[in-house]
């Protein structure tokens, strides 16, 4: 039936209300949601109600783009990138979506006209902390870049009910609190209750021969868990592409057992529900002892199985053939957490789709690619074989078979070299066999990459040396990157406007255009504008520091920022030893000239990582003494800013003058905070580690404060028999600092508090803190000296930002697309769905 003009008009009005971007329409949409979703009206609505209503209004606008994108991707010829990651550290959505949609100002007007301040509402959002640190945040930056580059992609992961814990500081110690981020609802996700997959766990395997004489395996599970899809639309910057982040929630297939209930076993009737729901309940912290964590293996398998079943279902539903799975999907393993996917893919192909083993292995190897994020051998995941078998009995058989065939191949290629065979084996030798997940990932992937040039080189020389020897063609480097949308436009709007006023807005999508700023680096008036913005951001942070910690800091002092997970290899203790040395210099010579400096630390320590927690206590204890000592006269201040997360990072980066990237050379795979800080005009003091090396190459050695042993020197020192005690004895400043900590100078004369940390430094010091101390302190003097020359500093700061083009995650994603995924942009056109359905 043909629709009348009047009908068309009302459809358009309806469409405008749902998806229009003007201030008036936005205001109406918020009021509608307030009423129809929250059952509230303005007189009684809280800020949180407004936040929810606004988010729903924004989500409506995403959905139009999302549905169009999904429709396009369902096209049989469209290849899709599937990113498998156990962590996504997304950060708050609202402001980011406003920026990507291009409606920030309009929304500001809409909220003002409702008597609301947009900043208040943005601050209401509980960020989804579904990750520990760099790896999870990288996944979030990559989702943003994939959408911005119009690459069809799905991110798969776990919808943890509790994300990374919230950190508080009590008496100087870290206290962990549960992160109940879903408490007030999550307006950004869409529950797909009808979209679920069964996942088997435990039990045993039966073997039989079918009527055709084929050997078959039947996995009888101990329990079945259902994975339910929760989708979050991820919109690109100023494009229609809106990709999907699909997170799985675990549930019991049936939540209540009536038979058990009728027998009077009330709690038993819901116990299945509890056991199943536990799987997606909580994110595991990094650096915890992983041994024996059955639940963690269950988690990994759970989300990988749901995701692969989902991909296969999508592929088959479009008439795809299972043998050509890799034409539809390329599956990127974000570290080894999803590496069980290699075995699960084989199980699905062989057991469920009855594909012959050799063909199944060929399909698998053409589908997966693996990114390694760490060189620390202790961080490479392994599973005790018995534990593994109790959770995944069929996968153990499959891995044994993969390994048997794989080692046959290795034996031929290496003429039976036993050392190579045992190093490449997926299952370790010896009485306590372990499943090595990195080996499974390497064997089952067509591509393996590291995350910075140095890291990729070291992978080839150390942890994956033998793999490189046999399959050099699989290896490449993909240096990490970060999204300038969140880390500049959203976190530092003033600096972004200043940049755009000079070189236009093109840099937001093409970060290389920042080089246009170089021509202004010597211009005194631009330098001044640049430093005024920096000062404003420092004032903002100073206010927050005062609110949060009661410590008053001076915005004209150097803001020296060390923010990242707390870990011995990241060497927050090296920084604090320098602070103590500086403090002692002032004590010894109160009138000495000191360039005022505020040392700002932030970061979480894994709850079970004793020495990391002690490092926090040391920082806060030194802060207590230094900040209150009248002789210091506020020239140095030490702050530990609690609960480091994306929201707080957004506040800290823009205010930084100095970026501390001081890990032991060869230990930090890449780092991404180093990139975010430089983009915001901070100058790095750092070692030649991770991406620092490339950052220094780009910004120029003269704009970077370098210190410390190189990776090769570290190795050499260790092989010569490094003795930290010699360094302690040889350097009076270092000795005094350590003696003070040891004597209880910073801990109310209780010397035992830091005993473990000090013993570790004096007698082991595996991260060479003491060896690097002297050169660190010397370089810090150069930092202070440089800061005195305001013009020189401004120029260095501008050049740092101007030369960061390479470190956009858009560049990283392009590299992955060109070299590994072989997927190109696929722009999405908007469709008027209301018109279509008439
Ligand atoms: C890890 C590495 C970092 C690297 C990120 C992303 O971070 O060097 O930058 O992954 O590749 F250690 P965490 O998850 O360990 O913080």
Averaged pLDDT in 10-residue chunks for the chain of 838 residues = 53 68 95 94 94 97 95 88 98 98 97 96 96 97 98 98 97 97 96 96 95 92 96 98 98 72 62 86 78 86 98 96 98 98 98 98 98 88 95 98 98 96 95 95 98 98 97 98 98 98 98 98 98 98 98 98 98 98 98 96 96 98 98 97 98 98 98 98 98 98 98 98 98 98 97 97 98 98 98 98 98 98 95 54
67: three-class secondary structure by DSSP: helix
Question: Please, which contacts does 404-408 make with residues 24 or more away whose CB atoms are closer than 8 Å?
Answer: 405/361, 406/443
Are 498 and 465 in the same domain?
no
Cβ-contact 768, 762 below 8 angstroms? no
- Residue range(s) defining the domain that contains residue 632: 488-709+767-802
- Is 565 among the catalytic positions? yes
Decide if 748 is inside a domain: no
Decide if 430 is inside a domain: yes
Interatomic CA distance for residues 362 and 234, integer angstroms: 32
Which atom in ligand 1 lies closest to the alpha carbon of residue 671?
9
Decide if 827 is inside a domain: no
Provide ipTM, 2 decimals.
0.97
Which atom in ligand 1 lies closest to the alpha carbon of residue 672?
9
Angle, CA 282 vertex, CA 281 and CA 288 arms, to 5°: 150
Q: Determine how many CB atoms are found less than 10 A away from the CB of residue 278.
A: 15
Interatomic CA distance for residues 838 and 6, integer angstroms: 13
Taking the centre of ligand 1 as the mean of its atom positions, its distance from the CA of residue 464, in whole angstroms, is 17
Q: Which of 804, 806, 810 is nearest to 150 (CA)?
A: 810
Contacts of 5 (CB under 8 A, 6+ apart): none
- Is 672 among the catalytic positions? yes
Interatomic CA distance for residues 65 and 74, integer angstroms: 14
Element (H, E) at 714: helix 711-720
Taking the centre of ligand 1 as the mean of its atom positions, its distance from the CA of residue 664, in whole angstroms, is 14
Taking the centre of ligand 1 as the mean of its atom positions, its distance from the CA of residue 595, in whole angstroms, is 33
Are 580 and 444 in the same domain?
no
Residue nearest to atom 9 of ligand 1 (CA): 671
515: three-class secondary structure by DSSP: helix
Taking the centre of ligand 1 as the mean of its atom positions, its distance from the CA of residue 702, in whole angstroms, is 27
Give the model's pLDDT for residue 376: 87
Q: Determine how many CB atoms are found less than 10 A away from the CB of residue 419.
A: 9
Decide if 273 is inside a domain: yes
Return the bridge partners of 248, or none: 158, 229
Polymer length in residues for the chain:
838
Are 340 and 431 in the same domain?
yes
Which atom in ligand 1 lies closest to the alpha carbon of residue 564?
16
Taking the centre of ligand 1 as the mean of its atom positions, its distance from the CA of residue 136, in whole angstroms, is 8
Please list every protein residue whose CB sits less than 6 Å from any atom of ligand 1: 132-135, 138, 373-374, 451, 480, 565, 668-672, 690
Task: Tell which of 477, 499, 520 closes a domain.
Answer: 477
Are 472 and 607 in the same domain?
no
Residue nearest to atom 13 of ligand 1 (CA): 134
Residue nearest to atom 7 of ligand 1 (CA): 134
Are 575 and 691 in the same domain?
yes
Interatomic CA distance for residues 791 and 748, integer angstroms: 43
Q: What does the buried/exposed string (b/e) look like for 463-501 if buried means 16 or more CB atoms within 10 Å of the residue's CB?
A: bbebbbeebeebbebbbbbbbbbbbbbbbbbebbebbee
**pTM for this structure?**
0.96
Contacts of 324 (CB under 8 A, 6+ apart): none
H-type alpha helices, 357-492: 357-367, 385-391, 393-413, 418-424, 437-443, 453-461, 465-470, 484
**Among 573, 578, 676, 696, the one annotated catalytic:** 676
* Mutational pocket test of ligand 1: of 87, 130, 135, the residue with most ligand atoms within 8 Å of the beta carbon: 135
- Is 755 among the catalytic positions? no
**Among 137, 347, 565, 667, the one annotated catalytic:** 565
* Mutational pocket test of ligand 1: of 375, 487, 670, 767, the residue with most ligand atoms within 8 Å of the beta carbon: 670
**Among 373, 395, 433, 637, the one annotated catalytic:** 373
Are 494 and 470 in the same domain?
no
* Beta strand segments in 271-361, E: 329-334
Decide if 703 is inside a domain: yes
Residue nearest to atom 6 of ligand 1 (CA): 135
Interatomic CA distance for residues 380 and 363, integer angstroms: 26
Taking the centre of ligand 1 as the mean of its atom positions, its distance from the CA of residue 449, in whole angstroms, is 14
Which atom in ligand 1 lies closest to the alpha carbon of residue 669?
8
Are 514 and 584 in the same domain?
yes
Give the model's pLDDT for residue 18: 73
Task: Tell which of 430, 453, 477 closes a domain.
Answer: 477
* Mutational pocket test of ligand 1: of 85, 89, 132, 134, the residue with most ligand atoms within 8 Å of the beta carbon: 134
Residue nearest to atom 15 of ligand 1 (CA): 134
Taking the centre of ligand 1 as the mean of its atom positions, its distance from the CA of residue 373, in whole angstroms, is 6
- Is 25 among the catalytic positions? no
Cβ-contact 711, 454 below 8 angstroms? yes
Are 552 and 647 in the same domain?
yes
Which atom in ligand 1 lies closest to the alpha carbon of residue 138?
6
381: three-class secondary structure by DSSP: coil
Taking the centre of ligand 1 as the mean of its atom positions, its distance from the CA of residue 602, in whole angstroms, is 16
The dihedral sign for the CA sequence 364, 366, 368, 373:
positive
Decide if 551 is inside a domain: yes
Give the model's pLDDT for residue 641: 98
- Is 328 among the catalytic positions? no
Query: Running DSSP on this structure, what letter comes out for residue 701?
Result: G
Are 406 and 498 in the same domain?
no
Return the bridge partners of 639, or none: 600
Interatomic CA distance for residues 171 and 191, integer angstroms: 42
Q: Which of 562, 566, 604, 564 is nearest to 579 (CA)?
A: 562
Residue nearest to atom 10 of ligand 1 (CA): 135
Decide if 733 is inside a domain: no
Q: Which of 237, 242, 126 is nearest to 809 (CA)?
A: 237
Interatomic CA distance for residues 215 and 708, integer angstroms: 60
Give the model's pLDDT for residue 272: 75
Q: Which of 365, 346, 368, 344 is nearest to 355 (CA)?
A: 346
CATH assignment at residue 772: 3.40.50.2000
Interatomic CA distance for residues 472 and 466, integer angstroms: 10
Are 316 and 366 in the same domain?
yes
Q: Which of 337, 315, 338, 340 is nearest to 325 (CA)?
A: 315
Are 371 and 461 in the same domain?
yes
Taking the centre of ligand 1 as the mean of its atom positions, its distance from the CA of residue 85, in whole angstroms, is 13
Interatomic CA distance for residues 26 and 57, integer angstroms: 7
Are 682 and 792 in the same domain?
yes
Task: Tell which of 424, 452, 477 closes a domain.
Answer: 477
Q: How many domains does the chain have?
A: 2
Provide DSSP, 192-221.
EEEEEEEEEESSEEEEEE-TTS-EEEEEE-
Which atom in ligand 1 lies closest to the alpha carbon of residue 371?
11
Question: Please, which contacts does 110-119 make with residues 24 or more away whose CB atoms are closer than 8 Å?
Answer: 110/23, 110/24, 110/26, 110/27, 110/30, 111/30, 111/50, 111/54, 113/23, 113/27, 114/27, 114/30, 114/31, 114/42, 114/50, 115/42, 116/47, 116/50
Interatomic CA distance for residues 422 and 426, integer angstroms: 9
Cβ-contact 637, 628 below 8 angstroms? no
* Mutational pocket test of ligand 1: of 337, 487, 669, the residue with most ligand atoms within 8 Å of the beta carbon: 669
**Among 315, 474, 534, 564, the one annotated catalytic:** 564
- 1 burial type by CB count under 10 A (0-12 exposed, 13-18 middle, 19+ buried): exposed
Decide if 10 is inside a domain: no
Cβ-contact 557, 597 below 8 angstroms? yes
Taking the centre of ligand 1 as the mean of its atom positions, its distance from the CA of residue 713, in whole angstroms, is 23
Cβ-contact 363, 349 below 8 angstroms? yes
* Mutational pocket test of ligand 1: of 141, 451, 481, 566, the residue with most ligand atoms within 8 Å of the beta carbon: 451
User: Per the structure block, which two tokens stand in for 1?
Assistant: 């039936």
Taking the centre of ligand 1 as the mean of its atom positions, its distance from the CA of residue 222, in whole angstroms, is 36
Taking the centre of ligand 1 as the mean of its atom positions, its distance from the CA of residue 673, in whole angstroms, is 10
Which atom in ligand 1 lies closest to the alpha carbon of residue 565?
16
Taking the centre of ligand 1 as the mean of its atom positions, its distance from the CA of residue 374, in whole angstroms, is 7
* Mutational pocket test of ligand 1: of 142, 288, 370, 373, the residue with most ligand atoms within 8 Å of the beta carbon: 373
Return the bridge partners of 205, or none: 219
């Amino acid at each position: 039936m043909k629709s009348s003009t009047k009908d068309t008009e009302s459809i358009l009005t309806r469409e405008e209300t749902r998806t229009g971007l003007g201030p008036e329409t936005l205001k109406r949409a918020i009021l509608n949601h307030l009423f129809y979703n929250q059952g509230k009206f303005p007189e009684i609505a809280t800020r949180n109600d407004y936040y929810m209503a606004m988010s729903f209004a924004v989500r409506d606008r995403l959905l139009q783009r999302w549905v169009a994108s999904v429709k396009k991707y369902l096209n049989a010829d469209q290849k899709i990138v599937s990113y498998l990651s156990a962590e996504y550290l997304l950060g708050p959505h609202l402001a980011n979506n406003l920026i990507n949609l291009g409606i920030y100002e309009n929304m500001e007007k809409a909220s003002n006209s409702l008597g609301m301040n947009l900043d208040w509402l943005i601050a209401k959002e509980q960020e989804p902390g579904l990750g520990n640190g760099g790896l999870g945040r990288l996944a979030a930056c990559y989702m943003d870049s994939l959408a911005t580059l119009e690459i069809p992609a799905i991110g798969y992961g776990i919808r943890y009910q509790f994300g990374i814990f919230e950190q508080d500081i009590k008496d100087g110690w870290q206290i962990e609190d549960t992160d109940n981020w879903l408490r007030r609802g999550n307006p950004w996700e869409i529950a797909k209750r009808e979209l679920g997959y069964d996942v088997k766990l435990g039990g045993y395997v039966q073997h039989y021969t079918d009527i055709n004489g084929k050997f078959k395996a039947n996995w009888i599970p101990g329990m079945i868990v259902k994975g339910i899809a929760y989708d979050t639309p991820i919109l690109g910057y100023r494009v229609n592409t809106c990709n999907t982040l699909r997170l799985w929630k675990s549930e019991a297939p049936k939540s209540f057992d009536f038979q058990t209930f009728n027998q009077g076993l009330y709690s038993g009737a819901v116990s299945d529900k509890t056991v199943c729901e536990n799987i997606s309940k909580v994110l595991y912290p990094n650096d915890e002892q992983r041994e024996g964590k059955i639940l963690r293996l269950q988690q990994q398998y759970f989300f990988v199985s749901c995701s692969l079943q989902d991909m296969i279902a999508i592929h088959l539903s479009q008439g795809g053939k299972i043998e050509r799975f890799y034409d539809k999907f390329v599956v990127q393993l974000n570290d080894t957490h999803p590496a069980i996917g290699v075995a699960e893919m084989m199980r699905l192909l062989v057991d469920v789709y009855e594909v012959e083993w050799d063909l199944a292995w060929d399909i698998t190897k053409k589908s997966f690619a693996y990114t390694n994020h760490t060189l620390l051998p202790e961080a490479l995941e392994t599973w005790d074989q018995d534990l593994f078998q109790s959770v995944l009995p069929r996968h153990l058989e499959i891995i044994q078979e993969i390994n048997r065939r794989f080692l046959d191949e290795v034996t031929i290629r290496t003429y039976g070299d036993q050392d190579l065979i045992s190093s490449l084996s997926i299952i370790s030798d010896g009485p306590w066999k372990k499943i090595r997940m990195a080996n499974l990932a390497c064997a089952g992937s067509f591509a393996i990459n590291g995350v910075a040039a140095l890291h990729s080189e070291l992978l080839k020389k150390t942890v994956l040396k033998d793999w490189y020897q046999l399959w050099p063609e699989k290896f490449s480097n993909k240096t990490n990157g970060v999204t300038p949308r969140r880390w500049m436009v959203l976190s530092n709007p003033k600096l972004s406007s200043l940049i755009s006023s000079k070189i236009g807005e093109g840099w937001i999508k093409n970060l290389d255009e920042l080089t246009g700023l170089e021509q202004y680096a010597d211009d005194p008036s631009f330098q001044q504008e640049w430093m005024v913005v920096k000062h404003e951001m420092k004032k903002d942070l100073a206010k927050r520091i005062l609110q949060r910690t009661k410590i008053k800091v001076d915005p004209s002092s150097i803001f020296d920022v060390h923010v990242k997970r707390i870990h011995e290899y990241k060497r927050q203790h090296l920084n604090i030893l320098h602070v103590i040395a500086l403090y002692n210099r002032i004590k010894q010579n109160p009138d000495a000239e000191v360039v005022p400096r505020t040392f700002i630390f932030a970061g979480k320590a894994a709850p079970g990582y004793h020495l990391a927690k002690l490092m926090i206590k040391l920082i806060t204890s030194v802060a207590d003494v230094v900040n209150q000592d009248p002789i210091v006269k506020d020239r140095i201040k030490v702050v530990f800013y609690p609960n480091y997360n994306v929201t707080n990072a957004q506040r800290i980066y823009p205010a930084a003058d100095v970026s501390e990237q001081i890990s032991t050379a060869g230990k930090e795979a890449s780092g991404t905070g180093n990139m975010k800080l430089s983009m915001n005009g901070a100058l790095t003091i750092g070692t030649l580690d991770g991406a620092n090396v490339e950052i220094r190459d780009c910004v120029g050695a003269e704009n970077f404060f370098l210190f410390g042993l190189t990776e090769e020197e570290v190795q050499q020192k260790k092989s010569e028999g490094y003795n930290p005690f010699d360094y302690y004895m040889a350097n009076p400043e270092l000795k005094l600092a350590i003696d003070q900590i040891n004597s209880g100078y910073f801990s109310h004369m209780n010397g035992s508090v830091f005993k473990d940390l000090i013993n570790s430094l004096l007698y082991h010091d595996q991260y060479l803190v003491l060896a690097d101390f002297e050169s660190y302190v010397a370089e810090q003097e150069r930092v202070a000296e440089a800061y005195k020359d305001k013009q020189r500093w401004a120029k260095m700061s501008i050049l740092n930002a101007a030369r960061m083009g390479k470190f956009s995650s858009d560049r990283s994603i392009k590299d992955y697309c060109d070299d590994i995924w072989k997927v190109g942009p696929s722009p999405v056109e908007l469709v008027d769905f209301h018109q279509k359905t008439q």
